[in-house]
A and B are shown apart, each in its own frame.
Chain A
Amino acid sequence: MSRVHVTCTINGDPAEFLCDGGQTLLDALRDEVGLTGAKEGCGTGDCGACSIVMDGRLLCSCLVLAPEADGRNISTVEGMATGDDLHPLQQCFLEGAALQCGVCTPGFLVAAKALLDRNPDPTETEIRYGLAGNLCRCTGYDKIVRAVQAAAETINES
């Protein structure tokens, strides 16, 4: 079967890749583009480890077929840092030990960034609901919530 040629923007750069019609965007990002930040946890849209942003919308890339990305603008965790400078969320996750095994972390970072982009000063409750689509089986979430609060403060001060 002929493969599908997809042209899109990934993390601000023009990108193209070949994929199968039934391949998920998550698998295409990982296996065709080489961006392995997004992870497969559940494969059913429950855990959020595969979170990316496409045309401004946060979504689970495991529920998106890769050909749908044609012409779209995609942001992944790999685009968060600026060169060697980590995004405040990444820095605060590190400093606050908001991760243990790390599998869920890229998804949390992408979802938290989408949350802060929309709501720069969220309450704790808003953070907890905003990140309800991301599961972490290590941290108990408190450190993640505090890291997001700290990052919001950092971003709002700068």
Chain B
Amino acid sequence: MGYDLMLSAMRYASPTTVAEAVDLLGSDPAARVYAGATDLIPQIRAGRPEPTVMVDLKRIDRLCAIGSNGSTYTVGAAAPTADICGHDGLAADFPGLVEASGLIGSDQIQSRSSWGGNLANASPAADTPPSLIVNDARAVIAGPGGERTVAAADVATGPGQTSLGPGEIIVEFELDQPPARTADAYLRLIPRTEMDIAVVGAAARITLDGDGNVAAAAIALGAVAPTVVRVPDAEAALIGNLPSGEVLGAVEAAAAAATNPIDDKRGTVAYRRQVAGVLARRAVSIAAERAAQQGDQS
């Protein structure tokens, strides 16, 4: 078949421990992480340099596990998004992040796509990074020098670029259980109803106080800049106020102003700016409604 030659010379390795994987990746600069490979294999077919070794991370239990100690969730970097979407605890505590996870590709892709891959592939249009960031997710990174923990926001540094050093892999994500009256939401616009990538993605997380005013807010936009953009002006506009009316207007304006988008076949700069404002406003509204409902329940 037509594509055989491009993939024929690679070796495949399937370590069962993080240390083994780090050794394999650290000892050969042309080795590549092979997790879901939903981006990697198409990239190689499109002409990216062929790795010498594909290091499959999916036989390492820690990379695929989803757990919680009651105050912090730990989600393996290669855990399939299908498993994340089927996890009742994550769906209840991080509805927006779980929605973002479920938007990646088809059912076939959901079997393979993961937070680690979505983040490390560093596409500006990736769906889960904005939601990981508004939820203050931390990435546990293993490398030749041991393990370190960084904010998920600090992993991607540009399109296809990350702060991961040679031999380093994302092992898992840590997510603290949200405080009371807190919820998130994620909205994405694509040109069709399924199977496309974001024109704009908007994630919001809102914490309400007992009076229904915003006590804490985080807003992050995808696909409108080289990396995910936080919108501090919109967050500041919300604090201490009811999330409605003019305040939401300020959120919309601040989100549009925070973007630095490109023109491409999916949308123009002006269109992306406008949509970013609208989606940010709506995401804030949905997150605030969810946070209020949580308050009603408790």
B-binding residues in A (CB < 8 A): 1, 4, 20-24, 27, 30-31, 40, 43-46, 48, 51, 57-60, 62-65, 67-68, 70, 111, 114-115, 129-130, 132-134
Q: Nearest chain B CB to A25's CB is how many angstroms away?
A: 11
The contact string, 1 if C-beta is below 8 Å from chain A, for chain B 243-284, is: 000000000000000000000000000000000000000000
Report yes or no: B50 in contact with A48, Cβ–Cβ below 8 A: no
Given the known A-B contacts A21-B54, A57-B111, are A129 and B194 also in contact in the complex, defined by CB atoms under 8 Å? yes
- Does B226 belong to the interface (CB within 8 Å)? no
The CA-CA distance from A150 to B105 in the complex, in Å, is 26
Report yes or no: B7 in contact with A23, Cβ–Cβ below 8 A: yes
Report yes or no: A68 in contact with B12, Cβ–Cβ below 8 A: yes
Could you say which of A40, A63, A67 contacts B112, with CB atoms under 8 Å apart? A63
The CA-CA distance from A28 to B10 in the complex, in Å, is 15
Mostly helix, strand, loop or mixed at chain B's interface? Answer: loop
Contacts of A114 in B (CB 8 A): 107
Report yes or no: A43 in contact with B3, Cβ–Cβ below 8 A: yes
Could you say which of B4, B9, B34, B45 contacts A44, with CB atoms under 8 Å apart? B45
- Does B95 belong to the interface (CB within 8 Å)? no
Pairs of residues from A and B, 10 with the lowest C-beta to C-beta distance, nearest first: A133-B106, A22-B10, A22-B7, A132-B194, A57-B111, A44-B42, A67-B12, A21-B12, A21-B11, A133-B108
Report yes or no: B108 in contact with A27, Cβ–Cβ below 8 A: no
- The 16 sampled A-B contact pairs (Cβ below 8 Å) are A21-B11, A22-B7, A23-B8, A43-B42, A44-B42, A44-B45, A45-B38, A45-B105, A57-B111, A58-B111, A62-B41, A65-B12, A68-B12, A115-B107, A132-B193, A133-B195
The CA-CA distance from A68 to B45 in the complex, in Å, is 19
Please count how many residues in chain B sit with their CB below 8 Å of the partner chain's CB atoms: 35
Report yes or no: B8 in contact with A45, Cβ–Cβ below 8 A: no
- Does B80 belong to the interface (CB within 8 Å)? yes
Report yes or no: B37 in contact with A1, Cβ–Cβ below 8 A: no
Given the known A-B contacts A21-B11, A22-B10, A27-B1, are A133 and B41 also in contact in the complex, defined by CB atoms under 8 Å? no
Contacts of B11 in A (CB 8 A): 21-22
Contacts of A129 in B (CB 8 A): 194
Q: Nearest chain A CB to B232's CB is how many angstroms away?
A: 36
Q: A20-B8, A45-B42 are in contact. List 17 more A-B contacts (CB 8 A).
A: A20-B7, A21-B11, A22-B9, A23-B4, A24-B3, A43-B45, A44-B42, A45-B108, A48-B108, A62-B41, A63-B37, A65-B7, A67-B14, A70-B14, A132-B106, A133-B107, A133-B108
The CA-CA distance from A12 to B80 in the complex, in Å, is 24
The CA-CA distance from A65 to B58 in the complex, in Å, is 12
- Does B109 belong to the interface (CB within 8 Å)? yes
The CA-CA distance from A130 to B110 in the complex, in Å, is 11
The CA-CA distance from A51 to B37 in the complex, in Å, is 15
Q: Nearest chain A CB to B186's CB is how many angstroms away?
A: 17
- Does B75 belong to the interface (CB within 8 Å)? no
Contacts of A4 in B (CB 8 A): 12
Could you say which of B38, B50, B56, B195 contacts A22, with CB atoms under 8 Å apart? B50
Could you say which of A1, A24, A67, A134 contacts B41, with CB atoms under 8 Å apart? A24
Report yes or no: B194 in contact with A59, Cβ–Cβ below 8 A: no
Contacts of A132 in B (CB 8 A): 106-107, 193-195
Q: Which of B1-24 contact A (CB under 8 A)?
A: 1-4, 6-12, 14
The CA-CA distance from A132 to B102 in the complex, in Å, is 13
Contacts of A27 in B (CB 8 A): 1, 3-4
Contacts of B106 in A (CB 8 A): 48, 132-134
Given the known A-B contacts A22-B12, A132-B194, are A58 and B108 also in contact in the complex, defined by CB atoms under 8 Å? yes
- Does B82 belong to the interface (CB within 8 Å)? yes
Q: Which residue of A lies closest to B112 (CB)?
A: A59
The CA-CA distance from A132 to B103 in the complex, in Å, is 12
Q: Nearest chain B CB to A101's CB is how many angstroms away?
A: 18
Could you say which of B2, B3, B14, B80 contacts A68, with CB atoms under 8 Å apart? B14
